[in-house]
Amino acid sequence: MKKTLLMLIVLLAGFTVQAQEQSAETTAPAIDKSLQGLEIGGMIRVRPEIKQNYTFFETRGQGLNDNFVGQKSQIFVKKTLADGSSVKVTIQDSRVWGGEANANNGLSTANETESTDIREAYFNLHNPGGIPLDLQIGRQTLSYGNQRLVGPLEWTNVGRSWDAARLKMDTETNSFHVWSSVSSEGDDDLKNESDNTDEVFFNGIYESYNKKGFPSIDLYYLSDLNVTSNAARKLHTFGTRLAKAPERAKEGADYGVELAMQTGKANESVDANGKKIDVTFGGMAVILEAGYTFNAGLPMRLGGEFSVGTGDKSSTNDSNETFQNMYPTNHLFYGQADFISLQNAVIGGLFYQMFFNDAADLKLGYIYTQKDTSGDIWYDVAGSSTKNELITGSSKKQLFHEIDATLALNLRKTFSFEYGLSYVMRGDALVDADKKTDAVFTYISTTMKF
């Protein structure tokens, strides 16, 4: 059952292609080998980063200090056919200068063991069998809403891709997508064997209505299924989002409201008699955004955000109320120093942005963070527990305050420059855990697209 959606989408591709072949009155035309519809491009991004005292120690040598240069290089080839169908392949190289592939200080979230890999490799079948939709199959990126739950994670050196089949029905005002992806597969066709010891599937349905002059309305369902040889984890996320996105330097109000609720269960442990113990999920997230752009000599925007991802009040019962942050691009929202995710978190932010012209702007931000419940842990930007050891022994909720400054320049249509600086101040929990100093993050990013 766990592969049903994926198999149905792939079978649909086969049936529609077969129907097209059978309905053809003459022999199919020759493969288009011309340069018409051919697009070649790419990008190179080089970003030095300095992370100082990321463990908040005062003694020299005890704090975590990372200085490195990350580089991401991509080249893609895309061919669009006369019927609107297309094929795209993107090759990507991700590395830290002088380091191994996917070094930890490059903030990699992918599983590749080589620095050069296939970022995208898919075909998109347009109007299969005369049905007004697109069928996209292969390795691809996914991005929905404003990437708080599903995003390609372009900020990191590697990014995130899925091996997926996706049905897309897009019009001028409406977008309806259904997909099924395989993140990990136990069956191995190379070994000619079936070993369902670790299979992970990410499926979803996303509906978005967006008419010019009106706020966009999103409805979605996300399914995350992890099956091992002796356990299973099924997480279901239902959500809705209402938003009027800001337009660069254009006067007026913008806002956003998003609500996500989770259910499901996991049987990841057994009791003394060997019986599996079910734990039910019950997390929830609420996100509020508001801003206003005005002109005071220069276009400026003032904005604020408030986000809550619930935490688990008790680790000893059979329920888990921690909101699972799914596959987000958290860097965009919760501080560019990347210390936290929307799990057991209350995060507030105030932002000021000044637009010098169409190609330059300065953004200042203040972010406040605390745990939702003191009984749960501090989850880092990737949703793991690595930061929680920094507050061992403290029962206080307040984690840190962060001040961000970002200067962005688009010097040419193909070349951009960005400088970022963050100062992360200890909150009550870090002070209570006897952490002595604050943390600093800075980066310089240059990107050339061609």
Residues 6+ apart with CB under 8 A from 158: 72, 92, 94, 102, 106, 108, 109, 110, 112
Task: Give the pLDDT score at 258.
Answer: 98
CA distances from 256 to 211, 287, 303, 339 (A): 16, 8, 11, 24
- Specify which residues 292 forms β-bridges with: 253, 302
Complete DSSP assignment for 189-233: TTTTB--TTEEEEEEEEEEEE--TTS-EEEEEEEEEEEEESS-EE
- Alpha carbons 214 and 377: distance in angstroms, whole number: 40
Structural domains of the chain, with CATH: 39-76+91-98+179-449 (2.40.160.100)
- The 10 Å Cβ neighbour count of residue 155 is 17
Task: Give the pLDDT score at 184.
Answer: 67
- Alpha carbons 96 and 107: distance in angstroms, whole number: 10
Interval 421-449 mean pLDDT: 96
> Two tokens at 213?
């002059």
Task: Give the pLDDT score at 94.
Answer: 94
Return the SS3 of 11. helix
Does residue 14 have a pLDDT over 70? no
User: Does the model's pTM come out above 0.85?
Assistant: yes
66-109 residue pLDDT tens: 899 999 999 999 999 999 999 999 999 999 998 754 444 444 44
> Two tokens at 400?
């840190």
Q: Which of 289, 182, 177, 270 is nearest to 227 (CA)?
A: 182
b/e string for 305-316 if b means 16 or more Cβ within 10 A?
Answer: bebbbbbbeeee
Banded pLDDT at 185 (limits 50, 70, 90): low
Residues 266, 231 contacting (CB under 8 angstroms): yes
Q: Which of 210, 291, 215, 212 is nearest to 246 (CA)?
A: 291
Residues 431, 382 contacting (CB under 8 angstroms): no
Task: Give the pLDDT score at 277.
Answer: 77
Residues 20, 128 contacting (CB under 8 angstroms): yes
The radius of gyration of the chain from alpha carbons, rounded to an integer in Å, stands at 24
Banded pLDDT at 60 (limits 50, 70, 90): low
Task: Give the pLDDT score at 228.
Answer: 74
396-424 residue pLDDT tens: 999 999 999 999 999 888 999 999 999 99
Interval 112-125 mean pLDDT: 85
Q: What are residue 394's phi and psi, to 5 degrees?
A: -105, 140
Start-to-end CA span in the chain (Å) = 44
Higher pLDDT, 6 or 421: 421
> Two tokens at 49?
């980063």
Does residue 428 have a pLDDT over 50? yes
382-391 residue pLDDT tens: 999 999 999 9
Rounded to the nearest 10°, the torsion over CA 427, 432, 435, 436 is 80
Higher pLDDT, 212 or 416: 416
The overall average pLDDT reported for the chain is 87
Interval 153-175 mean pLDDT: 95
> Two tokens at 121?
């490799």
- Alpha carbons 271 and 301: distance in angstroms, whole number: 56
37-58 residue pLDDT tens: 999 999 999 999 999 999 998 6
Banded pLDDT at 227 (limits 50, 70, 90): confident
Q: Which of 95, 79, 75 is nearest to 35 (CA)?
A: 79
The distance between the two most distant Cα atoms of the chain, rounded to a whole number of Å, is 79
Higher pLDDT, 271 or 432: 432
Does residue 220 have a pLDDT over 90? yes
Please give the share of the chain, as a percent, with pLDDT higher than 90: 72
| Range with the poorest average pLDDT among 125-129, 180-184, 265-269 | 265-269
Does residue 179 have a pLDDT over 90? yes
Banded pLDDT at 12 (limits 50, 70, 90): low
Interval 184-208 mean pLDDT: 69
303-345 residue pLDDT tens: 999 999 999 998 778 899 999 999 999 999 999 999 999 999 9
Task: Give the pLDDT score at 66.
Answer: 86
Task: Give the pLDDT score at 330.
Answer: 95
Q: What are residue 198's phi and psi, to 5 degrees?
A: -160, 95
Task: Give the pLDDT score at 115.
Answer: 85
Task: Give the pLDDT score at 29.
Answer: 57
